[in-house]
Structure 1
Amino acid sequence: MDYTGNLESELKELKNTFNTGITKQESWRRSQLKALLSLLEEKEGDILKALEQDLGKHRVESFRDEVGPLIKSVNYALKWLKQWMSSKKADLPVAAFPSRAELVPEPLGVILVISCWNFPFGVSLEPLIGAIAAGNTVVLKPSELAPASSSVLANTIHTYLDNKAIKVIQGGPSIGEKLLQQKWDKIFFTGSAKVARIVMTAAAINLTPVAVELGGKCPAIVDSLSSSWDKEIATKRILAAKFGTCAGQACIAIDYILVEKKFSTTLVKLLKAYILSMFGEIPKESVGRIINKNHCSRLRKLLDEPSVKATIVHGGSYDEDALFMEPTLLVDPPLKSEIMTEEIFGPLLPIITVEKIEDSIEFIKSRPRALAIYAFTNNETLKKKLASETSSGSVIFNDAIIQYIADSLPFGGVGESGFGRYHGKFSFDMFTHEKPVARRSFLTDFWFRYPPWNDQKLQIFKSAYRFNYFEIILIILGLKKS
């Protein structure tokens, strides 16, 4: 349902609330975080039901990927809030003696959060946690493509949180456009690169800072693992990170695999076997749905390209009316085909073979920087080369997607995969200005800092910037020529 209220009056209320200073108080921040925790715990059933309606997610998957991580994040913020809010001492030059300085974290003001449909609660509430902890007022615009989830957010947040400081505004592109026409203190956007360009263009008019969480084609390098145990675990983790996470509709899902040609047949056999054991004879009953017919049609077109269709080794069926696409494996589709040049965002998994596993590094470097690189290997040399020679939002060895639930690690991209970092303390920092505050006494002053200038003062400054204070004393006493 599109928003029908008075947008200008709503934003004015948010600004007025912020200007009262109430959101800067630790007590207000704690009360809102605790209220959000209550929402997650008391409305868990509504959240899980909405995710099933929008995306066909099993309640276990929904709790694992959205409700659970959010509860953890709120508790983490409550635990560390006082420390995050505290000022930090900073040093000033000796020339400013006696003096002291500190870095004081202050909220930015009124924040706009535009979230995506694939994790409609996670990518809405995770940045909201940071914005609240930092003391801001917030407008959240959830995605209209997940209407049940958007409705739950709109109908619950205003009953739990301070409605004068935190608002949910529902609607489609027209509402999004109206929101972008307003002046914000920061915009946080999760979605596609195409829409991100629109957001940034609008933000530039008011010089509004923007953080964008995008995606990209996240590769997984699979080495020729020696033990059967390692092969089994790697295979299950790959499948869970692709087909078992929102049917592959995730920015950090594995987009394609790079593997040595000599190991590819073995890998395909393992993947086929574990697809069957994990998702059953009828995967339609256990794999999540595609979000809508447009996206289902987009995925179908990727597969129906003749040169791509010929490379399918498992799956390939789909039911657009049921919004279902079977977990599909492809071996060596053309590198210039759309399935290898565009982010897939669905349950299609290309497997690209290379002569030797080290070739995968050059392959990755030749393409836009990904949100994440995954590598399943015990080769320490390969690990070092991947970490040092590639650029991505993150690098994960021998697992996938675990970085998303880590409060101690920043989550975000680089280059075309986005910019800005959040989760844990990084979410707090995202919506905070760390303001330098310096204090100095009138007790002392230094005559050489003022005009008129002469060579003696020049030498004093040169010595000062080299931290040679003994030399300064000699110059002042006339014991060293300037």
Structure 2
Amino acid sequence: MNFSHDIRFRKETLQKLLHNIRVHESDIVEALYKDFRKPAFESMLTETSIVISDLKHTIKHLESWARPKKVRSSWLNFPSRDCIYSEPYGKVLVIAPWNYPFQLSFLPLIAAVAAGNSVVLKPSELTPATSALVSKIIRETFDVKHVVAVLGDATIAADLLRKKWDYIFFTGSTAVGKLVAKAAAEHLTPVTLELGGKNPCIIDKSAQLELAARRIVWGKFMNAGQTCIAPDYLLVHSQVRDKFIVLLKTEIERAYGDDPRASADFARIINSDHWKRLTAMIEPYKVLHGGLSVEEERYISPTLVEEHNVESALMQGEIFGPVLPVLAFENETQIRQILSGYGKPLALYVFTENREFEQRVLREYSFGGGCVNDTVVHFSNRRLPFGGVGQSGMGMYHGKFGFDTFSHKKAVLKKANWLDIALRYAPYGKKGKLLRRILGWF
């Protein structure tokens, strides 16, 4: 079977994948719970529903995406017809992370298959139940020469990176992303790197504070804070800081009760190493709320800490857990000073009713994507590109952006033979004057 050129085959295979995911949806939810007690609602909202929606959208639009696109010809090439062909790269490696192990395995895989590529998927070893199920669904859906999942630890990933690929798609930390980019450079392999960063969340004094607190608590503590686009720290205007902290506490209790440990809606930390890293971060701080932890359960409660030092250990790297530092600012100069100390983030959030302030923030700061008066939800719109910039990554995907990421755009000009203008051919003689005159008309 020619995987690269048969559009019908691509659609039929993706339809088979859609069917198999629906068949296994309850198994997927169960596997995510086994790996880190992810609530069923979050598993459906942030994992299975996003993949199913993307599959349906891709199947519906694949033929139009894959069709050659006519573009206007240049007068210099008259008469001609010019087209852009979407050509698959070939053999693609997808390395998926552990925090959304189902969604972030299948979204790039769907785009790569839709574009006509063959795929090797390396799921995360930190989520063994989900990764095993991902592998099972792939075996039930694809020919082994088309798509295959390779299970194993970081040494397996390193072995895969030493091979020659036509495209590499990696989701994970910035540190590992650099290693992937270095390995890809050995063969000049193009890459997409979906990384992370210190995602700021700015709360202006004009913001609707109660609503802002609810949306921030949801976006931050979903999946126990283990989300690459979660707010990493809060910058709250000093005039509303104390009031806002009270509102955050109220919303945490509204979401997870007086004892989040007993809540069925609060996930756990992925493993003991990450738990120890996070608890060590909390230890030196004045805890404003939460701060409780239980190692046997890999539990850390939703935690707010007071932060004054932008050079602290907590503020130097991506937190990736249910710990939220709260900083105060007096003016936009202070915001600028704080944000300039970090690389370009994967996400930025601003809560404000001040239109001018909103526009200044959006114009001045570079970031992968974000929201005004909400958090995280920009990820859910497949019509928006998702990706980082600078240290938070390169490249983009979701919907047609994913199809384009895994497609080489091949330019083709078809020249007619019924007319051949001699101007371009040597000997040139005095043709230069005529060329300048012609160029002046356009």
Q: Give the structure-1-normalised TM-score.
A: 0.89
- 1:451 corresponds to: 426
Give yes or no for the alignment of 1:295 onto 2:277: no
CA displacement 1:303-331 (0-9 Å, x = unmatched) = 12x3xx2x321111211221011111112
Give yes or no for the alignment of 1:99 onto 2:76: no
- Contact 2:4-2:90 at 8 Å conserved across structures: no
- 2:213 corresponds to: 235
- Take 2:60 and 2:426, find their aligned partners in 1: how far apart are those partners? 52
- Take 2:179 and 2:3, find their aligned partners in 1: how far apart are those partners? 33
Q: How does 1:212-291 map to 2 (within 5 A)?
A: 212-225=193-206, 230-243=208-221, 245-286=222-263, 287-291=266-270
Give yes or no for the alignment of 1:52 onto 2:33: yes
Give yes or no for the alignment of 1:323 onto 2:298: yes
- Take 2:214 and 2:191, find their aligned partners in 1: how far apart are those partners? 37
Aligned AA for 1:176?
Answer: A
Displacement of 1:295 in angstroms is 0.5
- Choose which of 154, 162, 165 in structure 1 pairs with 2:143: 162
Q: 2:296 is paired with a residue of what secondary structure? A: coil
Aligned residues: 440
- Take 2:341 and 2:318, find their aligned partners in 1: how far apart are those partners? 16
- Contact 1:223-1:357 at 8 Å conserved across structures: no
Q: 1:288 is paired with a residue of what secondary structure? A: coil
Larger radius of gyration: 1
Displacement of 1:361 in angstroms is 4.1
Give yes or no for the alignment of 1:440 onto 2:415: yes
Aligned AA for 2:406?
Answer: F
- Contact 1:111-1:186 at 8 Å conserved across structures: yes
CA displacement 1:55-104 (0-9 Å, x = unmatched) = 21110111011001111111111111111011111122223222111111
- 1:67 corresponds to: 48
- Contact 1:358-1:382 at 8 Å conserved across structures: no
CA displacement 1:410-432 (0-9 Å, x = unmatched) = 00000000011000000100100
User: Please, which runs of 5 or more residues in structure 1 have no aligned partner?
Assistant: 1-19, 469-482
CA displacement 1:182-226 (0-9 Å, x = unmatched) = 111100000011111111111111111111000101111112246
Give yes or no for the alignment of 1:334 onto 2:313: no
Aligned AA for 1:165?
Answer: H
Deviates more, 1:211-220 or 1:457-466: 457-466
- Contact 1:191-1:214 at 8 Å conserved across structures: yes
- Contact 2:275-2:299 at 8 Å conserved across structures: yes
Q: How does 1:388-407 map to 2 (within 5 A)?
A: 388-407=363-382
Displacement of 1:448 in angstroms is 2.7
- Take 1:66 and 1:139, find their aligned partners in 2: how far apart are those partners? 20
- Contact 1:32-1:162 at 8 Å conserved across structures: no
Displacement of 1:21 in angstroms is 2.6
- Take 1:288 and 1:463, find their aligned partners in 2: how far apart are those partners? 71
Aligned AA for 1:263?
Answer: V
Q: 2:22 is paired with a residue of what secondary structure? A: helix
Aligned AA for 2:82?
Answer: A
- Contact 2:370-2:376 at 8 Å conserved across structures: no
Displacement of 1:180 in angstroms is 0.7
Identity %: 39
- Take 2:364 and 2:252, find their aligned partners in 1: how far apart are those partners? 33
- Take 2:211 and 2:309, find their aligned partners in 1: how far apart are those partners? 29
Displacement of 1:362 in angstroms is 4.3
Instruction: Output the aligned Cα RMSD.
Output: 1.4
Aligned AA for 1:280?
Answer: G
Aligned AA for 1:276?
Answer: E
Q: How does 1:354-433 map to 2 (within 5 A)?
A: 354-356=329-331, 359-433=334-408
Give yes or no for the alignment of 1:79 onto 2:70: no
CA displacement 1:255-292 (0-9 Å, x = unmatched) = 00001112110001001111111111221233211000
- Take 2:376 and 2:3, find their aligned partners in 1: how far apart are those partners? 37
